[in-house]
Amino acid sequence: MSEIRRSVCPLDCPDTCALLVTLENGRVTRLRGDPEHPVTRGFLCEKVTRYLDRQYSPQRLLYPQRRVGHKGEGRFERISWDEALDEIAQRLQRIVREYGSEAVLPYSYAGTMGLVQGASMDRRFFHRLGASRLERTICSAAGTAALAATLGHRYGTEPEQFRHARLILLWGANVLGANIHLWPFLVEAVRSGARIYTIDPVRNRTGQLAHRHYFINPGSDAALALGLMHVILAEGLYDADYVARYTEGFDALAERVRRYPPERVAELTGLAAEDIVGLAREYATTRPAAIRVNYGVQRSERGGLAVRAISLLPVLTGAWRDVGGGLLLSTSGAFPLNRGAAERPDLEALSGLGRPARKVNMVQLGRALTELDDPPVMALIVYNSNPAAVAPNQNLVLRGLAREDLFTVVIEQLPTDTADWADIVLPATTFLEHTDLYISYGHYYLQLARPVATPPGEAKPNAEIFRLLAERMGFREPCFRESDDDIIRAALASGHPFLEGITLEALEERGWMRLRVAPDGEPFLPFACGGFGTPSGRLNFAAARLDYEPPVESRLGDAGLRSRYPLELVSLKSDSGLNSTFGYRDAVDRETSLVWIHEADAAARGIRDGDRVRIFNDRGSIRLIARVGRDVARGVVAARSIRWPKRAPDGRNVNALTSDRLADMGGGATFYSCLVEVEKCAD
């Protein structure tokens, strides 16, 4: 007997695909994209088409387990849920008594993007406990803060409208790898005569198909944007009417960008001065012009400034007026859920702490585990994340996880590196086995997914695990007994007009619904007539001090560092994987075991294609296989992330090299401001 059910891809990807699931005799036999969904359009990426290898993997964690071996060894014994929950509750209670509640640190990110399993009962639990508050900065914090400070709203051009653009800048955006459902719209645009340019230190698959690729120095995008604005203003190519109507602070901007003539910007960015001039003219005079900027540009020390400066471009040219014009970084700010109702930060007042709990930036997990005092972190509870693989400064993270006095709980689907470090491992369900509500950061559809498969063994959803833990901890507030549906209803009841008509019942019936950002069938033009989310409603060009300096960790940065480590490492996303989620697959392991190096840099080091090389800096050292060519800029090396460290010869991945220095805004991560040296392996 076969039937088709709806679901939603839960992964950390802008596309948030609507899925159709084939069930045969209770077993899921096929996943495909919903042909009716306007962005999914009937296809899935390859990684999720093959998701059933994960769903039915013999590696799935099935039962609660307790560590029997040494820390990190990954040897466990099966225990019952009762034993596991009792032990966790007792350990937490003792830690809270001895060290205070802030000695407990949650660690979660986007293993699932669902609201219920990602940011509801878990948050309630930690607020009620008075645990340290985790700042979830590892991905998008700098860009998020920059967009909020500049446009005032974190949304932009609808993906469906890119088909109308005539010039498309893919700025730090590997569309084919990390946002494949935008691609068909770009193809349509090209058929109507559009040109596509990529701006990236790496010529990835998307760059190879673009009409033109601009190699840019990592972390120098703010300088390029300032240079483009310099030319646009100097040549009078801006939209004076749009600027007059909807902005303020124009004179301050004009004054600022005067300091960024093409020659200076050429030195900072690595682009040729005439290319900067040409790009500025073409961008300002082609309509509609759309920019797809992705998070790659803000994963650097100057990432906030980069997003600020880039997002001023369509304001200056008035590109926001056009269907198919504007800029897209994220759409997530358009989903006005009542997050407070789901997460209940007010519960912290019951914790006995008597003040807001301290904040711990997730990018600096290694420091938190090894340096924090008053109180030290004594318990770490990990879910929806794999910090032993994904966090920067990995050697420091591992030193922290190895602490004998640290009590670590990991809620996981698979035996990740992080799970190997746990004292207690709890088995989690997959998206096919639990309920959730999904916003998107790449389109404007809200979606609901119901379980379609039975959990294997004794796996439970995160929300249920935190309900049970709350009960064990004696948290009696009624909110700890709320069902998943209660949580979803509360989150939907924000009263915001974008959610008008969107209820649990309506979602249940249809699966996905477009936000009421525009009337049915009409494009969403977020800033065509101003409407910026600033105090005055106008965009303020003078809000930011647009002063660019190269990152400390760059070839134009700290002189001492760059003399020892003269190459900049960009550890961009793999095409075949999704962060560390599919690290168990051989194809992902192969892709993440390579490092791309420019032929001139390779020749200078006696490195040939296929050689085994060592990449190192003061933080660590790893071995990879060299790919020599011209798809990275000179002075840049590129490795795909994120490998499962335990599959690597040295038990480390590229994050053994990356820095836990913070970005210029939002406390964001700086994975791509990273100096290294590369040498041929002797053996």
Where does this chain bind ligand MGD (CB under 6 A)? 12-13, 109-112, 117, 138-139, 171-174, 177-178, 199-202, 204, 216, 218-219, 221, 294-297, 300, 383-386, 390, 411-414, 416, 428, 462, 570-575, 577-581, 641-642, 654-655, 658, 671-672
DSSP result, 189-236: HHHTT-EEEEE-SB--HHHHHSSEEE---TT-HHHHHHHHHHHHHHTT
Per rule CB under 5 A, is residue 11 in the interface with Mo ion? no
Per rule CB under 6 A, is residue 145 in the interface with ligand SF4? no
Ramachandran category for residue 582: left, alpha or beta (phi over 0 → left; psi -120 to 50 → alpha): alpha
Q: Which does 107 bind (CB under 5 to 8 A by kind): Mo ion, ligand SF4, ligand MGD, none?
A: none
Q: Which residues contact 482 (CB under 8 A, 6 or more apart)?
A: 121, 490
C-alpha pair distances (Å), 656 with each of 84, 89, 119, 394, 623:
32, 33, 29, 4, 11
User: How far apart (Å, rounded) are the C-alpha atoms in residues 99 and 92?
Assistant: 10
**Secondary structure element (H or E) that encloses residue 507, with its range:** helix 504-510
Cβ proximity to Mo ion: between 139 and 196 the closer is 139
Query: Of the candidates 301, 17, 9, which has an alpha carbon nearest to the alpha carbon of residue 159?
Result: 17
Beta strands in 321-443 (DSSP E): 326-328, 359-361, 379-383, 407-412, 424-427, 436-438
Q: Which does 435 bind (CB under 5 to 8 A by kind): ligand MGD, ligand SF4, Mo ion, none?
A: none
Q: Which does 171 bind (CB under 5 to 8 A by kind): Mo ion, ligand MGD, ligand SF4, none?
A: ligand MGD
Cβ proximity to ligand SF4: between 104 and 572 the closer is 572
Per rule CB under 6 A, is residue 186 in the interface with ligand SF4? no
Contact 590, 582 (CB under 8 A): no
Minimum separation from the CB atom of position 114 to ligand MGD (A)? 7
Q: How many residues bind to ligand SF4 according to rule CB under 6 A? A: 13
Per rule CB under 6 A, is residue 199 in the interface with ligand SF4? no
> Using CB under 6 A, which of the segments 12-20, 162-170, 340-348, 431-439 binds ligand SF4?
12-20
Query: Of the candidates 114, 306, 88, which has an alpha carbon nearest to the alpha carbon of residue 201?
Result: 306
- 80 burial via Cβ count (<10 Å: 0-12, 13-18, 19+): exposed
Minimum separation from the CB atom of position 303 to Mo ion (A)? 13
- For ligand SF4, the binding residues in 39-58 under the rule CB under 6 A are 44-45, 47-48
Query: Of the candidates 110, 123, 180, which has an alpha carbon nearest to the alpha carbon of residue 466?
Result: 123
Q: How many residues bind to Mo ion according to rule CB under 5 A? A: 1
Per rule CB under 6 A, is residue 11 in the interface with ligand SF4? yes
Say whether 373 sits in a helix, a strand or coil: coil
Taking the C-alpha atoms of 424, 430, 435 and 438 in order, what is their torsion angle to the nearest 10 degrees? 110
Closest residue to Mo ion, Cβ-based?
139
Query: What string marks each residue from 571 to 600 as x (binds ligand SF4 by CB under 6 A) or -?
Result: -------x----------------------
Minimum separation from the CB atom of position 624 to ligand MGD (A)? 13
Per rule CB under 5 A, is residue 284 in the interface with Mo ion? no
Per rule CB under 5 A, is residue 113 in the interface with Mo ion? no
Query: What string marks each residue from 126 to 165 as x (binds Mo ion by CB under 5 A) or -?
Result: -------------x--------------------------
Minimum separation from the CB atom of position 655 to ligand MGD (A)? 5
User: What is the token pair recorded at 578?
Assistant: 């999704």
Per rule CB under 6 A, is residue 173 in the interface with ligand SF4? no
Per rule CB under 5 A, is residue 297 in the interface with Mo ion? no
Query: Of the candidates 185, 273, 296, which has an alpha carbon nearest to the alpha carbon of residue 227?
Result: 273
> Using CB under 6 A, which of the segments 10-18, 132-140, 451-459, 642-650 binds ligand SF4?
10-18
Say whether 379 sits in a helix, a strand or coil: strand
Residues of the shown chain interacting with Mo ion in the complex, contacts defined by CB under 5 A: 139
